[in-house]
Chain A
């Protein structure tokens, strides 16, 4: 299944915010998590994640820090700020509305699969 480009773009910010809500993380791992969550259906161009993260940082939704984990290389970690959490709540509210509307109009039980993460 090929997911529409606009849909990928629209879901990018809430997805990244939600993943960071699970705990601070670095770019590569965030992308892996996206693949894992979508069962490999959501394909991003890897590099594009970083400008997005930098935008979130500029807006004050995430903070960054270079860290060197005990085993491994220096990586730039991103963590959610309280403003980021507020933004995530807003995103959740909007997506809940959208998915609910789609579920209603698509009509019916077998489209339960549409529910995004139970939102």
Chain B
């Protein structure tokens, strides 16, 4: 009997190491295995025979792991999204392949950095600060990220062309617009274009499929993890830059020049390096991200409740100026980010827990604040008329209001056991294109609609 236990133990650790199979799955499979062994025992098989037959009946571990991975794409989306990687070799091998592909990632990172530096030199930055440099900044970097994904996913040439075409179209549009001097619409374009470009990157990232809800969730996950890696790199880069400047100080080299070269190149290159890290070193951040979400969701919830109560008690007063609206918008987006990221990091089969409740509190408070912001904004528009900024802010707030209301309604139903987390996920993944469409409207429709003022 002891040898059987030993064999089961070895089998457990072997199966448990496979990507896509988690501890609960192993436990369930083990339970199955033991039932099978017991039955085979009853018909007269010896321990080792029964074990072998039972394991054989479960099917090849490769196939099984692949099947689990398909169902639980959230657990190892990085292997799955590597197009063409679905056949041949274990997923471990595929992961190694990503890790080995670092020279390619580095090449794209350097290309992005070079592109940004060339643009900067042409613009004469930092002596000159032409508007076009800021407006186009994301277009010097994100196409390289898109191209890197397009290569990784081995997109068809049609998909390559489509991606390139969209970037080219955007570049032409935002640069042929005849903006007025100090135009508000130009600032809107400069701030919204990076977001829109990120949405374009989603296309090659998702392997040129736009409709798959699972892939969209992967994109959300990727975005969250990319942010974490980028922040880490930025922090390390900051330390490196400060030390470099300190070390070089006695040589009399102009620190501003060094900073311009290092900082801008690093910021551009890190965009692609962070993406590569997300793909290659998934497991590291996979453990960290849910912890961060768990840490910050309650803190944000507490802050939102406090703010909602404070505003409810004190009233809005006169303080609700444009800057504060911006702050509130940022806050709403942060809450939405937490909700989305919490969803993507969640184990779908878990029952409603305290985290879901806290998240609902955060969403409801955010909803209350959003209603306040909207009220004040509508009043402002009533008094002072429409401006590009107000339209952009109003649109964003309306979208957030609908999104948060839907999320609150569905998570309340989920907590009451009346619907599944799946519905909530679907709501959010179905809504993502709406945000993308709105950003596109701000970049492409608002400037002409307001005569480029």
Task: Tell me the A residues contacting B by CB distance below 8 Å.
Answer: 26-29, 45-48, 50-51, 54-55, 57-60, 64, 73-76
Q: Which residues of B sit under 8 angstroms from A28, Cβ to Cβ?
A: 31-32, 35-36
Most buried by B among A28, A51, A59, A75: A51
Within 8 A of A (CB), among B419-453: 419-420, 422-423
Within 8 A of A (CB), among B30-84: 31-32, 34-36, 57-59, 63-64, 67-68, 70-72
A46 touching B422 by the CB < 8 A rule? no
Q: How far is the CA of A46 from the CA of B34 in the complex (A)?
A: 13
Q: How far is the CB of B442 from chain A (nearest CB, A)?
A: 35
Nearest neighbor of B348 in chain A, beta-carbon distance = A58
Q: How far is the CA of A66 from the CA of B7 in the complex (A)?
A: 24
Q: How far is the CA of A74 from the CA of B270 in the complex (A)?
A: 48
Q: Which residues of A sit under 8 angstroms from B181, Cβ to Cβ?
A: none
Nearest neighbor of A27 in chain B, beta-carbon distance = B32
Given A46-B59, A48-B59, A48-B64, 4 more contacts at CB 8 Å?
A51-B67, A57-B348, A64-B349, A76-B24
B422 touching A27 by the CB < 8 A rule? no
Q: A27-B32, A28-B32, A58-B71 are in contact. Are A46 and B58 (CB under 8 A)?
A: yes
B35 touching A60 by the CB < 8 A rule? no
A48 touching B67 by the CB < 8 A rule? yes
A51 touching B70 by the CB < 8 A rule? yes
B71 touching A46 by the CB < 8 A rule? no
Q: How far is the CA of A33 from the CA of B349 in the complex (A)?
A: 25
Q: Which residues of B sit under 8 angstroms from A46, Cβ to Cβ?
A: 32, 36, 57-59
B423 touching A60 by the CB < 8 A rule? yes
Q: A46-B59, A73-B34 are in contact. Are A54 and B29 (CB under 8 A)?
A: no
Q: How far is the CA of A50 from the CA of B63 in the complex (A)?
A: 12
User: A45 contacts which of B25, B59, B72 (Cβ < 8 Å)?
Assistant: B59
Q: Would you call B28 an interface residue if the criterion is a C-beta within 8 Å of the partner chain's C-beta atoms?
A: yes
Q: How far is the CA of A73 from the CA of B31 in the complex (A)?
A: 8
Closest 9 CB pairs of A and B: A60-B420, A45-B59, A28-B35, A47-B58, A47-B59, A51-B67, A51-B71, A47-B64, A46-B57
Q: How far is the CB of A10 from chain B (nearest CB, A)?
A: 16
Q: What are 18 contact pairs spanning A and B, CB under 8 A? A: A27-B32, A29-B35, A45-B63, A46-B36, A46-B58, A47-B32, A47-B59, A47-B63, A48-B59, A51-B68, A54-B68, A54-B349, A58-B422, A59-B422, A60-B423, A73-B31, A75-B31, A76-B28
Q: How far is the CB of A32 from chain B (nearest CB, A)?
A: 8
Q: How far is the CA of A18 from the CA of B208 in the complex (A)?
A: 37
Q: Which residues of B sit under 8 angstroms from A74, Cβ to Cβ?
A: 27, 31
Q: Which residues of A sit under 8 angstroms from B35, Cβ to Cβ?
A: 28-29
Q: How far is the CB of A79 from chain B (nearest CB, A)?
A: 13
Q: Which residues of B sit under 8 angstroms from A73, Cβ to Cβ?
A: 31, 34
Q: How far is the CB of B80 from chain A (nearest CB, A)?
A: 13
Q: Which residues of B sit under 8 angstroms from A51, Cβ to Cβ?
A: 64, 67-68, 70-71
Q: How far is the CB of A20 from chain B (nearest CB, A)?
A: 16
Q: Which residues of A sit under 8 angstroms from B57, Cβ to Cβ?
A: 45-46
Q: Which residues of A sit under 8 angstroms from B28, Cβ to Cβ?
A: 27, 50, 76
Binary contact track B12-27/A, C-beta < 8 Å → 1, others 0: 0000000000001101
Q: How far is the CA of A64 from the CA of B349 in the complex (A)?
A: 8
Q: How far is the CA of A59 from the CA of B419 in the complex (A)?
A: 10
Most buried by B among A29, A45, A59: A45
Q: Which residues of B sit under 8 angstroms from A58, Cβ to Cβ?
A: 71, 348-349, 420, 422
Most buried by A among B348, B349, B419: B349
